[in-house]
Amino acid sequence: MATTSTHSRHARTRSPQRALPSPHTVTVVAQVLVYAGAAAVVALWWIDTTSVVGFAGWLTNAGRVTGLLAGYACAVLLALMSRFPLLERAVGSDRLARWHALGGRYTISLTLAHTLLIILGYAASAHASFVSQTTTLVLTYPDMLKATAGFLLLVATGIISARAARRRMSYETWHYLHFATYLAIFLAFFHQLSNGADFVAHQPVQLAWYALYIGVAGLLVWNRFLTPVRRALRHRLTVTEVRPEAPGVVSVFMSGRHLDELGAEPGQFFRWRFLAPRMWWTANPYSLSAPPNPAYLRITVKAVGGHSEALARLRPGTRVWAEGPYGAFTAARRTARKVLLLGGGAGITPLRALFETLPSQVTLVYRARRPEDLALWQELDAIAADRGATVHYVVDEPAQYSSPLTAGGLATLVPDIAERDVYLCGPPGMTAAAIPALRGAGVPRHRIHHESFAF
């Protein structure tokens, strides 16, 4: 197999991709809404506070402000977990995950600050010890036992979400432990209304707070629970074939009804729940490895864990629930006439679908450890021949087919790289090296499109 496959026929005209809102516009609007809500929360405290007297008063009021902001941040955190289609498609799941992680850190920090400041403020006012005041608050104030349980659960969730802890558990375990966030926020919600000075005597503010949380809860229930069930009943996906593609790599073909109604695009992914023994209880994200069509959907997966390894043992007829489509790794991101697709390992799957459909001059660079690890290469060569594109296969072994992932190495393979949009997908180590290499080769940051599925 040659390391480079180049063909000169012109690409066929492809149907235009469905227009998406500008990611910049959606990002700006979302951030403005979040900051406006935070400003409204601080304004609520400001209007409701006529004066602050003494050291105890400053501590207590600082606790009030951080408590209001923590309660608001919990609602924002849940909204970011709701898989709202506009955000998922325009902003991208990996960027939303970063927002969620940052929001989680803010939420836990504000919650800790609120807890400590309120206890210290009340203790200073009552001339009591920290331990005594904590006991009084937890045992005698309404809804405080539930709030304490929620606080401990939220902190525990934050600890297991830390990167060092995530490395020690599977995606499935982390995913289900993360659901504890819902319970933590539910337990803490009621003490805000029963004890918060800004809520107790202000029914309109209470109604607004209820509306905020009920609205977010509605987004969660609709997008994360009802929609997957509704689509499962509507589309009735089943496994039709499991095909080996490379060592440890299989393609899973699925057919169903009304698949065109899913609105999926090349480059997007679903969260797949296979109703098979030891697999039905989790939904894992896998990209489409072929353009979606009314007849079937296909994913191509490398075995890197228990769930992905089990895909090779799926039987035809297995029912499938597909939640999605998600992701902004689509043709809508293209801004230049020429495109470079840079992938490695399992990252080839969304790039293979884009390689067939992107309406532009496309070059694909596919990196792997060995030639036998190059999945779908026959399809890639056929697509290149069909549309007049170029494929570079880069492997670490044997050395004569290797090329360094550096600015110079990329420029050697793709001399006009600075003029191209780059779609990047691969293992974390590869992408971490590729981004500075692309920047060094002259690719502007806004032309590097990258979506990660790391949890």
Q: Are residues 37 and 182 in the same domain?
A: yes
Quick check: is 230 in a domain?
Answer: no
Quick check: is 431 in a domain?
Answer: yes
CATH of the domain at 245: 2.40.30.10
Give the domain-ending residue among 305, 326, 347. 326
Q: In 196-312, where does DSSP find H-type helix?
A: 197-200, 203-220, 227-235, 306-310
Give the domain-ending residue among 180, 205, 225. 225
- Structure confidence by residue, pLDDT tens digits, 344-365: 988 899 999 999 999 888 999 9
Q: Are residues 201 and 269 in the same domain?
A: no
Tokens of 29: 């609007």
Angle at 447 between CA 426 and CA 431, to 5 degrees: 20
Q: Are residues 8 and 54 in the same domain?
A: no
Domain extent at residue 104: 23-225
Nearest to 66 by CA among 41, 47, 49: 41
Q: Are residues 150 and 285 in the same domain?
A: no
What CA–CA distance (Å, rounded) separates 383 from 389? Answer: 8
Domains in the chain: how many in total? Answer: 3
Give the domain-ending residue among 269, 295, 326. 326
Q: Are residues 391 and 442 in the same domain?
A: yes
The helix/strand/coil state of 101 is helix
CATH of the domain at 355: 3.40.50.80
What pLDDT was estimated at residue 309? Answer: 85
Q: Are residues 216 and 257 in the same domain?
A: no
* 31 CB-contact burial (10 Å; exposed 0-12 / middle 13-18 / buried 19+): exposed
Q: Are residues 306 and 373 in the same domain?
A: no
* 64 CB-contact burial (10 Å; exposed 0-12 / middle 13-18 / buried 19+): buried
- Structure confidence by residue, pLDDT tens digits, 323-341: 889 888 888 888 899 999 9
Distances from the Cα of 395 to the Cαs of 154, 301, 370, 373, in angstroms?
45, 19, 5, 9
Q: Are residues 10 and 27 in the same domain?
A: no
Quick check: is 417 in a domain?
Answer: yes
Q: Which residues, given as ranges, of the chain have pLDDT below 70?
A: 1-23, 163-172, 175, 400-401, 452-455
Quick check: is 231 in a domain?
Answer: no
Q: Are residues 139 and 166 in the same domain?
A: yes
Q: Are residues 42 and 124 in the same domain?
A: yes
What CA–CA distance (Å, rounded) separates 358 from 351? Answer: 10
- Structure confidence by residue, pLDDT tens digits, 193-218: 888 888 887 888 899 999 999 999 99
